[in-house]
Amino acid sequence: MGRRYTGNGTAASGANKTCLNLISAATIRPALYDLVIGSVATPADAAVKWHVARTTAVGTEGSGFTPIALDPGDPASLADYAVAHSSEPTYTSNAVLLQISMNQRNTFRWVAAPGGEMVAPATASNGLGCKTVSVSTGTTAYEVVMFHEE
Amino acid sequence: MSDKKWTALRPKGTSILSGPDGVIEADTLQCVHCGCHWQVQPGSGKLRGFCSRCNGPVCGPQCSECVPMERQLEIMEGSSNGTEVSTSVIWTPGS
């Protein structure tokens, strides 16, 4: 098993709004194995469609999130996380790895079975982005938590 | 209470959707070519396939060419080209 790390981010939802982007590096293939999506905003009804998809450029992040090693003895992660983009990452067309439609009141979790991880290529600035594709109403903030190994 | 009705014999993941109305759990399968996941949903009407060369499920007609996930990653990394593909998929509706 590779070294495991976690990162999280909060961002407003909307049409094609990235909440959290796992950015690869030229030396490793980060593998996403756990994903949690939820909102702490005042409960309300809003239908949201989420995509986890491949990215090839990082865009402009509002802030970064340094991955936290689950084992404190591990070195710093080679991959990185980006949060709350002012300029969206570039998504590869037809490369949606997971699609979820849910109500704002829901919390979603996806966990990979061993060997079922979503793997990003070992290419700098490539990665896996988690974004809201469409929202029925409002711009409610959502939290996304990712766990990856590398 | 868990209500895991949508299951697969060899799942590649599990999704859990929890909310005021309860919990919905479903297994996910992974395309052996592009690596995407989908919830197992019998009767969905979506056309899925099975690659007899990779010995695993395929997400749809757009992945009918046998380019294994490892090969696709190498193509993305630029260490392999996308030529020399073949088709070896058996289609199974609604899984």
Q: What ipTM was estimated for this complex? A: 0.93
Q: Does A118 touch chain B (CB under 8 A)?
A: yes
Helix (H, G, I), strand (E, B) or coil at B50: strand
The rounded distance, in Å, linking the Cα atoms of B31 and B57 is: 5
Q: What is the pLDDT of residues B57-87, one digit of tens each?
A: 999 999 999 999 999 999 999 887 766 555 5
For residue A126, what pLDDT is reported?
97
Average pLDDT rounded to a whole number, residues A84-93: 94
Q: What is the 3-state secondary structure (H, E, C) of A92-104?
A: EEEEEEEEEEEEC
Tell me, yes or no, if the pTM score tops 0.80.
yes
CA pair distance B85, B65, nearest whole angstrom? 6
More confident residue, B87 or A3: A3
Is residue A45 within 8 angstroms of chain B, CB to CB? no
Q: How confident is the model at residue A93 (pLDDT cuts 50, 70, 90)?
A: very high
CB contacts < 8 A, A to B, total 72
Average pLDDT over residues A107-120: 97
- Mean pLDDT, chain B, as a whole number? 86
Sign of CA dihedral A98, A99, A104, A106: negative
How far apart (Å, rounded) are the C-alpha atoms in residues A7 and A69?
9
Q: What b/e readout covers A25-53, taking b as 16+ CB neighbours within 10 angstroms? A: beebbbbbbbbbbbbebeeeebebbbbbb
How much is the pLDDT for A32? 98
* A126: phi then psi, degrees, rounded to nearest 5: -80, 170
Interface membership of A28 toward B (CB under 8 Å):
no
Tokens of B48: 């899925």
- Asked if A121 lies within 8 A of B77 by C-beta distance, the reply is yes
Using CA atoms, how far residue A25 sits from A126, A150, B30, in Å, is: 8, 10, 24
Choose the closest CB to A102 out of B12, B17, B76: B17
**What whole-number percentage of chain A has pLDDT above 70?**
100
pLDDT reported for residue B86: 58
| Distance of residue B34 Cα from the nearest chain A Cα, in angstroms | 8
Question: What's the pLDDT score for residue B85?
Answer: 57
Look at A123 and B76 and tell me if their CB atoms are within 8 Å: yes
d(CA B36, CA A116): 9
Chain B residue with minimal CA distance to A115?
B12
Residue A145 contacts B where some CB pair is shorter than 8 Å:
no
Contacts of residue A103, Cβ cutoff 8 Å, sequence gap at least 6: A45, A46, A47, A48, B19
> Residues A81, A21: contact at Cβ < 8 Å?
yes
Which residues from B are below 8 Å from A when comparing CB atoms?
11-20, 28, 30, 34-38, 62, 69, 73, 76-78
CB of A69 within 8 Å of a chain B CB? The answer is no
Of residues B42 and B68, more confidence is placed in B68
| Residue B88: predicted pLDDT | 63
Confidence band of B94 (pLDDT split at 50, 70, 90): low
Q: Which residues of chain B neighbour A122 with C-beta distances below 8 Å?
A: 73, 77
Banded pLDDT at B93 (limits 50, 70, 90) = low
Q: Which is nearest to A78 in space by CA: A129, A135, A149? A: A149
**Distance from B61 to chain A by nearest Cα, in Å?**
12
Q: What is the pLDDT of residue A1?
A: 73
Distance CA A129, CA A89 (A): 8
Across the range A135-144, mean pLDDT stands at: 95
